[in-house]
Amino acid sequence: MGRSALSILAESDSSATFVACDRLKESVDAAVALDPSRIVGWVGDVLADTLPLDGVDVVLNLAGPFFVASDAVARAAMTRGISYVDVGDDIECTDAILALHEEAERAGVTLVTGAGLSPGVSNWMAGKLLDDHPEADGVQVAWVVHETDPGGLAPLRHMLHMAVSPCPVLRDGRWENSPGFVSSTAGRYRFPEPMGEVEAYDTAHPEPRTLSRHYPQLKYANCKGALLPQWANQAFSTLGQIGFGYTDVKVDVGGVQVEPAEFLWRLMWERYSRRPARERHAATAVLVQVLRGVEVLGALAISDDEVMARGTGLGAASAVTTLLETGAPAGAFGPEVLRHDRALALFEELAVREGGYRQGVVAMKPATAA
């Protein structure tokens, strides 16, 4: 996701220079290789070491998994008077950044959390819909992903963590905690073709928290998600609950302390590498509905035939560019603080350049909420 965002930003602004930071030298080298004349690398622990922030206008943080809830990078940026954006998609991260609001106000710095795809583009679609339907008092977000391979360890840890984390749901103006990825929270949603109708479940994404904070008229806010193929939802739920979703547990294996999620990640990659070559297939989609009670007043959706990393990179690049172009008040916010008209237009413009999200932001026919 970091390399995706960096590549998009570097291509969209030929005058900008970048510092790519990562704890792994190979990741930094790959980032620098995108454009060695404008990208310099730094190897270190972004949560513990002093970051190279001289001359920096915006810090974009993509160091996951975000549920570790560290605000170290945001604090480092704030101390230097530098704007900050992240793509955090865990509620722990969101709450940690929002807790810095008063400090950021005093420092005159803007901190934006959750500015990727979902959250991120989903929030901007909600903003547009709420402008179009001022009578709305509810927002429903739903996302679907189908990845081509096991991906990185951080996204896997995030998925497993969501299976054991309470999901924040605003219902009748009050907060409830709902279990993640269980059938009792299922709803069916229609996405753009060829995806069609998909069953999705409550997830611990932070859209409900930041949307309700920015739009106080909301009495309902919820985010559901789904993995494809469908059986993967129950599989991740079960794996998370039996122990793979907990990061405070390590197991001794031959004298080596191993995190359960890392064992699972290595196992998945080993099995994947042994499979015969097959046609590559990926899918990502996000749907946002605004409601009055249970009536759906309007809905927008985006879809892509690529893994979620591309959409997250596009969302992050759109957020950074919008912040630099239009500014935002000092404080700590969700992505709603950015002008959604400009951010969505940038997302569509950059997506065309990247060959993704070819249908753009699509208006979906309203239907009764699931």
Per-position b or e across 245-269, b if 16+ CB within 10 A of its CB: bbeeeeeeeeeeeebbbeebbeeee
Q: Which domain holds residue 35?
A: 2-117+309-354
pLDDT band, very low/low/confident/very high, at 370 (cuts 50, 70, 90): very low
Higher-pLDDT residue of 251, 315: 315
- For the stretch 49-94, pLDDT in tens is 899 999 999 999 998 666 565 799 999 999 999 999 999 988 888 9
Asked whether residue 215 is domain-assigned, the answer is: yes
Examine the domain organization and report whether 26 and 142 are in the same domain.
Answer: no
Examine the domain organization and report whether 13 and 156 are in the same domain.
Answer: no
Higher-pLDDT residue of 216, 3: 216
Examine the domain organization and report whether 280 and 143 are in the same domain.
Answer: yes
Asked whether residue 369 is domain-assigned, the answer is: no
pLDDT of residue 267: 65
Tokens in use for 133? 């339907």
Higher-pLDDT residue of 361, 282: 361
Higher-pLDDT residue of 301, 249: 301
Examine the domain organization and report whether 56 and 127 are in the same domain.
Answer: no
Which of 34-38, 227-231, 235-239, 304-308 is the least confident region?
235-239
Examine the domain organization and report whether 260 and 135 are in the same domain.
Answer: yes
Q: Can you tell me the mean pLDDT for 261-281? A: 65
Asked whether residue 370 is domain-assigned, the answer is: no
**CATH (domain of 181):** 3.30.360.10
Q: Can you tell me the mean pLDDT for 321-346? A: 98
* Rounded-to-integer distance, Cα 155 and Cα 207, Å: 18
pLDDT of residue 137: 98
Q: What is the mean pLDDT of the chain?
A: 88
Residue 346: pLDDT above 50? Answer: yes
Higher-pLDDT residue of 241, 340: 340
Residue 280: strand, helix, or coil: coil
Asked whether residue 61 is domain-assigned, the answer is: yes
Higher-pLDDT residue of 154, 165: 165
Examine the domain organization and report whether 77 and 133 are in the same domain.
Answer: no
Examine the domain organization and report whether 284 and 180 are in the same domain.
Answer: yes
CA dist list (Å): 112 to 7, 24, 100: 21, 26, 11
Examine the domain organization and report whether 314 and 220 are in the same domain.
Answer: no
How many domains does one find in the chain? 2
Asked whether residue 7 is domain-assigned, the answer is: yes
Let me know: does 342 contact 284? Beta carbons within 8 Å. no
Examine the domain organization and report whether 168 and 100 are in the same domain.
Answer: no
Calculate Rg over the CA atoms of the chain: 20
Asked whether residue 70 is domain-assigned, the answer is: yes
Asked whether residue 81 is domain-assigned, the answer is: yes
Nearest residue to 152 via CA among 213, 63, 227: 63
Asked whether residue 327 is domain-assigned, the answer is: yes
Let me know: does 136 contact 356? Beta carbons within 8 Å. no
Examine the domain organization and report whether 134 and 279 are in the same domain.
Answer: yes
pTM for the full predicted model? 0.88
Examine the domain organization and report whether 113 and 125 are in the same domain.
Answer: no
Tokens in use for 281? 């297939």
Examine the domain organization and report whether 77 and 135 are in the same domain.
Answer: no
Residue 209: pLDDT above 90? Answer: yes
Let me know: does 81 contact 110? Beta carbons within 8 Å. no
